[in-house]
Amino acid sequence: MNYLKAFEISSAGLNVERTRLDISAMNIANAHTTRTLNGAQYIPLSVTTVAKTKGFQPQGLQMGDRVAIPFSTVTQQFNALPRLVFEPSHPDANKDGFVAYPGVDTVMEMVNMMSAVRAYEANTVAIGAAKAMTMKAIELGSGV
């Protein structure tokens, strides 16, 4: 059995979940940002994972992600409608007194973060199991 493939799969999963966590944290951090450094409005990001190879059937989909092995992670902007808040004294308020904040759904981002952490933990457990199997195979092979 090729144990390295198990490590490769779980390692790819760890990278995807880390990226999902980073993007959700970035979206939450910019939920109250009216302008970016270049003056444009912050546009929330999402993570989609797609297959680099053909023929692998996904075992389960998470949060709309297409999952395959090995992973290729794509970070993309999604066009969420801005959240308008009445703040006439804000420097970025429009003529009607409304400020356009990014359309970040903080509750959904927190759910994404919790899901990413749980999936990350599951991948670390899978790596531990593959390591234990490898060590046992080495032990059996050496006749100890």
Strands 83-86 and 45-51: unpaired
| Residues 131 and 113: beta-carbon distance below 8 Å | no
Q: How far is CA 73 from CA 39, 41, 45, 49, 57, in A?
A: 28, 24, 13, 5, 17
Alpha-carbon gap, residue 19 to 140, rounded angstroms = 38
Apex 15 CA angle, 14 and 16, nearest 5: 95
- pTM, rounded to two decimals: 0.73
SS3 state of residue 47? strand
Q: What is the mean pLDDT of residues 104-129?
A: 93
- 16-29 pLDDT, tens digit each: 899 899 999 999 99
Amino acid at 66: R
SS3 state of residue 138? helix
SS3 state of residue 125? helix
Residue 88 has pLDDT above 50, yes or no: yes
Amino acid at 34: T
pLDDT band at 138 (very low <50, low <70, confident <90, very high): confident
Amino acid at 9: I
Amino acid at 99: V
Please report where in the chains the tokens 């990014």 appear, as a residue. Answer: 102
